[in-house]
Structure 1
Amino acid sequence: MLQMLDQSAEHEEYSTAQSHSLPAYTTRHDTLFSLGRQHYVPVNNQRTNNLQQFDKMDTDLPWNYKILETDDEKEDDNNNNQEIQELDELILSQQLRELSTNTTHNEEVLMKDIKDEIEKIPNFLTKHNNSFKQILYQAQLLIKSTSPTTTVDIKQLREVAIIIYKIMIIQTYHLLWMAYLKSGRGELIISSETIPIWPKDITSLFKLNNTTNAHEIYLNFVNQQLHALDHQLNICKTGLNTKANNICGYSIMVQKIIDTYIEKHIQPFRLKTEHQTELIHYDYHIRTLKLQYIQHNPNQYQIEIMKKICQSKYEQETTEQEYNFLKQQIDYYNSPNQSFQHLPLAQATGIDTIENIEIRQQLLNQYKEVTLQVRDNLFPLYLTTAADQKEEFKKKYEENIKKLFTDGIFINGNRRLSLFLIEIMNQRCEKISERIKCVYKFKAQSTLLSTT
């Protein structure tokens, strides 16, 4: 995928993958992982274990990127010197030439990460994979049951499976890039007004400084990716038909066996891509609500209040979801089926290198006792700290909401307009909350897949 999409199964989110990311705060379950990690998300070495760093989170959230310029910003842009304007035009001209050149080579237009994902042969489709061997054997038996005299070459069936895999990957990417296109064309929400908003996944690929042709550049680029995906898809479909027709006795039932096997193994990839598509929808809604708010000409104070309320909601919902996620992990690690010898720590002590069996076993028992005791002491501490954080930010958000309805500066003047702005803020906070829940739902799904 795009490099930014990689950053996180956890997009998390914008950085990035994205790329787009959850706030740069940390939780103590990183250490929890180090004490009892077996199947869960890898530790982020850049994190610390200080929950208080949540207060230092980045306030430039994905939905706060500039959508509409204020009068002051427009005036600043008009005052840009000629050198900056000439540089923008030079960059734009170069990018347009590159795009124009690439359009003649569909197979070369695809971004490298996407192309690599399509072309690679995953381990579950290699000829040495035992599970894959069994699937091909089942397909072979099914063909022979309907065509007893047919000799089926396993190599042919494997080539068919690889093509089917490529088709599934391409189709998944196609859905993601269609979401990019609809967002950029303002078609994600059915309404009387078209509001084009390009996701940061796309805008971050280009270094454009307020150029008037940015929309056209993004549109051309995304359309080229979609055309390239269609081109690759047609090649694969043609290849599949050719391969299948060359196998006597090949049927829909045979392909179903192969389809089911591949579907199971690419489920993590599909979940990740579908999650990214969901985030595109949420970010579009959130940024559209911001635009609606700005269009009612709020004063600077009212703009700052909206940012403060939405930031407060982001903090409140994130700490609540993080607490729930941490609790799930602790419950998992405390479950009876999590035996010590299966934990990574049990394999990484260096004690196994001791030759004396009696001494080695004695040290292992001591190590196990100390490790489990430390873990049992830390788990409640982590959960209590996370609960405190959750309550702290919940209280902060509720206090901000109460102040909003009694804020004389905000309410005085056009009261009807003020109440309308508050309603837009409320809708925006709801979407922010839904987005964060979506992120943690994906985390839970990813964790479940990794343990099965």
Structure 2
Amino acid sequence: MEEQHLSQKLSQLSTSSCKTTDPLLTRTSENREENVPDYLAKGSQSFEKIINQISSMEKIEELRQIGILIYQFSMIHLQKSLWIAYWKAEMGQLKSSNQMKNDNDHIGPQLWPLEVQSEIKMSTSNDTCRVFVTRYFSELDVQMKHYENELSNKKNQFSDYIQTIETFVQENLTPIRLYYEYQIAVVEYNYYDRVLELEYLQHNPAHCQ
């Protein structure tokens, strides 16, 4: 429900005032079409091994394409989860477990993480940068829907093989998943650190001079 509410808030932002360039959108879109991990590349022995256990090698290329779709969808999902953390930091919605127990309605400081500032090269208003991030979310959603639809069609044809391929891809994605979890943890840590710093300065104004 929380992610659905966030998506609704994102969709309310207008894109008419956005004047920033979108290098991140272009780069992710291109990479997703061109980059295939080694374990899903043509001739991958690890992939051929699992396919050989469940099907004839005649279907390997079609099943490999399913694996690539699962990989692409999963990568977008991971990237979106990181950018949701960025967005929540800017909206003041990142909360520690203690805050969630004691004050669900509390809104913290609105801080763009440094990672976002470097990507967007922030030199305009927050509203314009919010539009940039909103457009990025929209781009991810469109691609996720595209891959989801393709996978749905494939599942009807190759239902007996989907679970095995899904498990294979997700196991190989473990290092990348851990990387994104680490990045989200860093965003949260830096945000809470900055919140504590601001609270300290608020109670010790002499240190601001």
Give the structure-1-normalised TM-score.
Answer: 0.38
Which of 88, 102, 113 pairs up with 1:199?
Answer: 113
Aligned: 1:168 with 2:74: yes
Task: Measure the CA separation in 1 of the matches of 2:170 and 2:112.
Answer: 31
Q: Classify 1:262/1:207 alpha carbon distance in 2 versus 1 (closer, same or farther; 3 Å).
A: closer
Q: Which residue of 2 aligns with 1:233?
A: 144
Return the index of the structure with the highest Cα Rg. Answer: 1
Q: CA deviation at 1:243?
A: 2.1
Matches within 5 A, 1:266-281: 266-281=173-188
Task: Measure the CA separation in 2 of the matches of 1:118 and 1:269.
Answer: 15
Q: Which residue of 2 aligns with 1:188?
A: 94
SS at match of 1:128: coil
Task: Measure the CA separation in 2 of the matches of 1:206 and 1:156.
Answer: 38
Task: Name the structure where helix makes up a greater proportion of residues.
Answer: 2
Q: CA deviation at 1:239?
A: 0.7
Structure 1 portions without partners, runs of 5+ = 1-94, 103-107, 142-150, 305-452
Q: Which residue of 1 aligns with 2:29?
A: 115
Task: Measure the CA separation in 2 of the matches of 1:208 and 1:172.
Answer: 24
Q: CA deviation at 1:117?
A: 4.4
Code of the aligned partner of 1:227: S
Q: CA deviation at 1:116?
A: 4.5
Q: Which residue of 1 aligns with 2:133?
A: 222
Task: Measure the CA separation in 2 of the matches of 1:134 and 1:264.
Answer: 15
Is the 2:76–2:144 contact (alpha carbons within 8 Å) kept by the matching residues of 1?
yes
Q: Which residue of 1 aligns with 2:85?
A: 179
Q: Which residue of 1 aligns with 2:164?
A: 257
Task: Measure the CA separation in 2 of the matches of 1:193 and 1:241.
Answer: 39
Q: Classify 1:222/1:128 alpha carbon distance in 2 versus 1 (closer, same or farther; 3 Å).
A: same
Task: Measure the CA separation in 2 of the matches of 1:207 and 1:129.
Answer: 40
Is the 1:183–1:199 contact (alpha carbons within 8 Å) kept by the matching residues of 2?
yes
Q: Which residue of 1 aligns with 2:48?
A: 133
Matches within 5 A, 1:151-162: 153-162=59-68
Aligned: 1:294 with 2:201: yes
Is the 1:180–1:222 contact (alpha carbons within 8 Å) kept by the matching residues of 2?
no
Give the structure-2-normalised TM-score.
Answer: 0.78
Q: Classify 1:228/1:198 alpha carbon distance in 2 versus 1 (closer, same or farther; 3 Å).
A: same
Q: Classify 1:258/1:225 alpha carbon distance in 2 versus 1 (closer, same or farther; 3 Å).
A: same
Task: Measure the CA separation in 2 of the matches of 1:182 and 1:221.
Answer: 15
Code of the aligned partner of 1:160: I
Task: Measure the CA separation in 2 of the matches of 1:203 and 1:227.
Answer: 19
Q: CA deviation at 1:152?
A: 6.4
Task: Measure the CA separation in 1 of the matches of 2:44 and 2:201.
Answer: 57
Is the 1:187–1:194 contact (alpha carbons within 8 Å) kept by the matching residues of 2?
yes
Which of 214, 238, 242 pairs up with 2:153?
Answer: 242
What value does the CA root-mean-square deviation take over the aligned residues?
2.5
Q: CA deviation at 1:118?
A: 2.5
Task: Measure the CA separation in 2 of the matches of 1:174 and 1:180.
Answer: 10
Q: CA deviation at 1:272?
A: 1.0
Task: Measure the CA separation in 1 of the matches of 2:20 and 2:68.
Answer: 32
Task: Measure the CA separation in 2 of the matches of 1:296 and 1:187.
Answer: 22
Code of the aligned partner of 2:197: K
Deviations 1:159-210 (A, max 9, x none): 111111111111111111111111111100254233211100011234445x
Structure 2 portions without partners, runs of 5+ = 1-16
Q: CA deviation at 1:96?
A: 3.1
Q: Which residue of 2 aligns with 1:353?
A: none
Query: Percent identity at matched positions?
Result: 29
SS at match of 1:204: helix
Is the 1:156–1:243 contact (alpha carbons within 8 Å) kept by the matching residues of 2?
no
Task: Measure the CA separation in 1 of the matches of 2:197 and 2:84.
Answer: 23
Deviations 1:239-289 (A, max 9, x none): 111222234xx23xx222111211222211111111000000001100011
Matches within 5 A, 1:432-451: none
SS at match of 1:187: coil
Q: CA deviation at 1:153?
A: 2.2
Is the 2:40–2:64 contact (alpha carbons within 8 Å) kept by the matching residues of 1?
yes
Q: Looking at both structures, which has the greater relative contact order when contacts are Cα pairs under 8 Å and sequence separation is at least 6? A: 2
Q: CA deviation at 1:297?
A: 4.9
Which of 182, 189, 192 pairs up with 1:285?
Answer: 192
Is the 1:179–1:277 contact (alpha carbons within 8 Å) kept by the matching residues of 2?
yes
Matches within 5 A, 1:43-122: 96-98=18-20, 110-112=25-27, 114-119=28-33, 120-122=35-37
Q: CA deviation at 1:139?
A: 2.9
Task: Measure the CA separation in 2 of the matches of 1:180 and 1:208.
Answer: 14
